[in-house]
A and B are shown apart, each in its own frame.
Chain A
Amino acid sequence: MQYQSHKIAQNFYTASVLLFLVQVVVGLIAALQFIWPDFFILNFNTIRTLHINALVVWLLMGMMGATYYVVTEESESELWSVPLAQLQFWATVIAVTAVVAGYIVMGLNPQTNTEIFGTRALNEGREYIEAPRWADVLIVISVLLFLFNCLMTVFKTKKFTAVQGVLLGGLTFLALMYLPGMFYTNNMVKDQFWWWWVVHLWVEGSWEMIAAALLAFMLHKLLGADVKVLAKWMYIETGLVLFTGILGLGHHYYWIGTPEYWLWVGGVFSSLEPIPLLLMVWDAFRTTREVRGVVPNRIGLYLTVAHAIFNFVGAGLWGVIHTLPQVNKWTHGTQITTAHGHLAFYGAYVLLIIAMIYVTLPSIKGVKEFNQSRGFQSFWWMTVSMIFIVIAITGAGMVQTYLERLLGLDYVTVKASYNLWFWIFRALFGVGFLVGVLILVKDILGFGQKPAA
C-alpha cells in the first residue's frame, strides 16, 4: 500500500542527510582549526555551533520523518492531515535556514547579537541550545503541529499499538524537555542546572525511548518478528532507560555548584545506564537469530544491529568509564568527553536514523530490490573512520587528563604540543568519514532510480 504521507517522510529524510553533510563538512573545519586556529573566516565557536546544531536538527528531522512513516504504517491510514505535515516540513526548513543565517551573521560580527526581550537576538551563547528565543518558539510550534498531527491520526484510527505509544510518548517527553532551556536566569549555576535537563534528558531519556520504539519497529518490519514479544522487551528496555537515566542526570551535577548528594545520586544511577543498552543488543541478536530464511533488506538489518551495538559501546561503555565522580573529577571537561560524545551520538542516533531510512525507503519508493552495495560502502567508511576518530580523541583525552589535570601542565601547552598529532589523526579520519557521508547522500537521493544491474 502506498501512502501520500510517505512522501513527507521522504522529504524529511532528504533534508536530514543533506544537513548531515553540512554537519560533517563543518566538523572537518573545526578539526582543522585545532591545528590552525585561523583556518577559516568564521571562528571556531561559530563553526562548532553549526556542527552540533546541524547534528541535533538533522537527527530530529530524521526522527520526524521516521515517525510520520511509522504512524502511517501502524495506523494503516494516511496522516490526519497531509497538507499540515507538508506545511510543517517547509516551516521547519525555513526556520532552520533563518537560524543558521543568524549564527553566521553573529559569527562575522558579534555586535549584531544584541539583546531583545532579555535574551540574545541571534545566538543565545549556550551550547546545543544556541538557537535564540524567537527560534525556540518556532521550534516548539513546529513540534506541536507534528505531534498533533500524529496523535490525531492515532485517535482517528484507534490503533493504539505499543510502538506508537512509546514512540509518541518519547516525542512528547522530548517536546516537554525543551522547555527548561527556554528561560533566562542570571545565575550561572542555575543556568547549567536547567541546561542539563534539556541535554541529558533528551539524549539519555526521551531519545532513547524513541530509539527503543524504532528498534522494535525495525525488527518487526525486517524480520516479521512477533509483535507481542518485541513489545514486552521494548517496555522493559524503556523502563530501565528511564529508571537509570532520569536520576542519572546527577552525573552532571557533581562540580557545577550543586549540593554534594548529587555525587551519590549521579554515581549510582548513571553507572546502571549501560544495562538497558546491553539489553537492546541482546534483543537485536535474539530476534535476528530466531528468523529463518533470507532477509531481503540486508543493509537495513545490518544497520539496525550496528546501531544497537554502537549505542551500547558509545553511550554505555564510553559513558560509564567517566561517570563515577572519582574518575569524572579528573576527566570532566576534557577530550574524553568529546570522544564519548562522538561515539555515543554516532552509535545511538546517527546509525538509528540511517537504519530507519534504509528500512523504510524501499516501501516509500515502492522498490523491492535495490543495490545495497553503496549502503555497505558508506557504512564502513563512516564506521571505521569514526572508530579511529574516537581512538585519537580518547588518546588526546588521556594525555590531557594526565598532563594537565594530574601533573599540572598548562592547558595551552598540552593542546598545542603534546596533543598535536591526535588533532592531525582526527582530521585525516574526518576526511574518511566525509567520504562515507558523500556515498550515503548520493545513495539516498538517487534511491531506487536505477534498478539493480
Chain B
Amino acid sequence: MSTNAAKNLFIYGSLFCFLVLVILTIDTMGKLDQRAPEITEKVAAGKKVWHKYDCIGCHTILGNGSYFAPDMTKATERKPKEYLKKFLLDPRAIKQDSAMPKLGLSEEEADSLIAFLEWTSKVDTNDWPPKPILASATAGRTASTGQMLFQKYDCAACHQIQGLGGTAGPDLTHAGLKQPDVEWHIKHLKDPAGTVRNSAMPNFSHLGDEDLKALAEYLITLR
C-alpha cells in the first residue's frame, strides 16, 4: 500500500465510521424514552442533588463512576425509603462505622434524591446488575418457618448471617446470644424505634403475631 492510499483509507474510513456512529446515536436517542419511566419534576430535582453533592465521586450509578462505595442503580430496590432517607441525612447517626460522611443534605433534597434513585432502578439496563449465581442457587432451601419469613421479608438486605447479607444493620450471626429474649425481639420487630434509641430499622408491625413469634424464635437460635 502506498502512503497516499493509506492516508485516504484513514480519512474516508474514519469519516464513514463516525457517520455510522451518528446514525446509531440518533436511533438510540429515539428509543430511550421507552426504556425508562417518565422523568417527573421530583426525579429531575433529584438528579441535580446527585450532581451537587458529587455522589459519583464515591459511588457508581449504572455501573459508571467511582468504586469506593456500592452501586446506586438498584439502591431503592431492597431498602425502604424511610431507611434510605435517614441514612442520607446522617449516615453515621444510624450506622456508626459507615464510611460515608454526613454531607449536609436537606430533607427535601433527600426526598428528591430517593425519587431519582427509584427512577434509575426502573431503567431497562439489559438485566444489569445480574443476579448472583449462589444467591439464586440457595434460595428457597430453608428449614424453619422463621427462617422462611427472614427470607420473605428480606431481612438479609440489611443483616448478615455468617457472612451473607447486607451491612446496614448489625450482624445477626449471634443475635440469640446478644438478646436471648423472644419477647424483646417481638417488641423490637413491632417497634424498633421504641425499643432501641434512634433505630433506623423499618418496623414490621404489619406482620401477624404468629409470624412475629416465629421470626423471634428463629432469631434466638442464632448463637
Q: Which residues of B contact A232 (CB under 8 A)?
A: 1-3, 6
Q: Report the nearest B residue to A194, measured CB to CB.
A: B25
B103 interface hit (Cβ, 8 Å): yes
Question: A333-B71, A407-B132 are known contacts. Are A412 and B57 too (CB-CB below 8 A)?
Answer: no
A242 touches B14 (CB 8 A): yes
A449 interface hit (Cβ, 8 Å): no
B104 interface hit (Cβ, 8 Å): yes
A258 touches B17 (CB 8 A): no
The segment from B120-128, B184-192, B208-216 found at the interface with A is: B120-128
B160 touches A188 (CB 8 A): no
A228 interface hit (Cβ, 8 Å): yes
B54 touches A46 (CB 8 A): yes
Instruction: Indicate which residue in B20, B31, B36, B53 contacts A125 across the interface (CB closer than 8 Å).
Output: B53
Q: Report the nearest A residue to B65, measured CB to CB.
A: A127
The segment from B79-87, B164-172, B174-182, B199-207 found at the interface with A is: B164-172
A255 touches B125 (CB 8 A): yes
B126 touches A260 (CB 8 A): yes
B32 touches A246 (CB 8 A): no
B70 interface hit (Cβ, 8 Å): yes
B104 touches A239 (CB 8 A): no
Q: Which residues of B contact A412 (CB under 8 A)?
A: 70, 99, 166-167
B52 touches A228 (CB 8 A): no
Q: Which residues of B contact A260 (CB under 8 A)?
A: 126
Question: A46-B54, A189-B32, A232-B2 are known contacts. Are A335 and B104 too (CB-CB below 8 A)?
Answer: no
A106 interface hit (Cβ, 8 Å): yes
Question: A125-B51, A189-B123, A329-B130 are known contacts. Are A413 and B167 too (CB-CB below 8 A)?
Answer: yes
A273 interface hit (Cβ, 8 Å): no
Task: Mark contacts of A244-279 with chain B using CB atoms, 8 A cut-off: 1 yes-contact digit, 0 otherwise.
Answer: 001101001111111111110100000000000000
B132 to chain A, nearest CB (A): 3
A110 interface hit (Cβ, 8 Å): yes
Question: A249-B21, A257-B123, A411-B70 are known contacts. Are A115 and B104 too (CB-CB below 8 A)?
Answer: no
Q: Report the nearest A residue to B132, measured CB to CB.
A: A408
Within 8 A of B (CB), among A396-440: 404-413, 416
Task: Mark contacts of B26-67 with chain A using CB atoms, 8 A cut-off: 1 yes-contact digit, 0 otherwise.
Answer: 011101100110010001100110111111111011111111
A236 touches B70 (CB 8 A): no
Q: Report the nearest A residue to B117, measured CB to CB.
A: A188
Q: Report the nearest B residue to A191, measured CB to CB.
A: B47
B28 touches A258 (CB 8 A): yes
A239 touches B52 (CB 8 A): no
A127 touches B67 (CB 8 A): no
B13 interface hit (Cβ, 8 Å): yes
A149 interface hit (Cβ, 8 Å): no
Q: Report the nearest A residue to B48, measured CB to CB.
A: A115
Q: Which residues of A contact B9 (CB under 8 A)?
A: 235-236, 239
A257 touches B3 (CB 8 A): no
A236 touches B66 (CB 8 A): no
B99 touches A263 (CB 8 A): no
CA distance A409 to B10 in the complex (A): 48
B67 touches A45 (CB 8 A): no
A192 interface hit (Cβ, 8 Å): yes
Instruction: Indicate which residue in B13, B48, B104, B128 contacts A329 across the interface (CB closer than 8 Å).
Output: B128
Question: A49-B57, A110-B54 are known contacts. Are A254 and B3 too (CB-CB below 8 A)?
Answer: no
A334 interface hit (Cβ, 8 Å): yes
Within 8 A of B (CB), among A4-36: 33-34
Q: Report the nearest A residue to B17, measured CB to CB.
A: A246
Q: Which residues of B contact A113 (CB under 8 A)?
A: 52-54
A43 interface hit (Cβ, 8 Å): yes
B7 interface hit (Cβ, 8 Å): yes
A120 touches B32 (CB 8 A): no
Q: Which residues of A contact B54 (CB under 8 A)?
A: 45-46, 49, 106, 110, 113, 123, 125, 130
A220 interface hit (Cβ, 8 Å): no
CA distance A412 to B123 in the complex (A): 24
Q: Which residues of B contact A77 (CB under 8 A)?
A: none
Q: Report the nearest A residue to B18, measured CB to CB.
A: A246
Question: A162-B3, A235-B9, A238-B10 are known contacts. Are A188 and B135 too (CB-CB below 8 A)?
Answer: no
A111 interface hit (Cβ, 8 Å): yes
A101 to chain B, nearest CB (A): 16
A31 to chain B, nearest CB (A): 11
Could you list 23 A-B pairs, sorted by A, with CB under 8 Å?
A43-B58, A45-B58, A46-B57, A106-B54, A110-B52, A115-B52, A124-B51, A125-B54, A127-B64, A186-B44, A188-B61, A189-B36, A190-B29, A190-B32, A236-B9, A243-B17, A257-B36, A259-B27, A259-B35, A407-B132, A408-B131, A409-B163, A410-B165
The 10 closest A-B pairs by CB, nearest first: A45-B57, A408-B132, A125-B51, A408-B135, A255-B128, A239-B10, A333-B63, A235-B6, A37-B99, A411-B70
Instruction: Give chain A's interface residues, CB within 8 Å of chain B.
Output: 33-34, 37-38, 43-46, 48-49, 106, 109-111, 113, 115, 120, 123-127, 130, 162, 186-193, 195-196, 228, 231-232, 235-236, 238-239, 242-243, 246-247, 249, 252-263, 265, 329-330, 332-335, 337-338, 404-413, 416
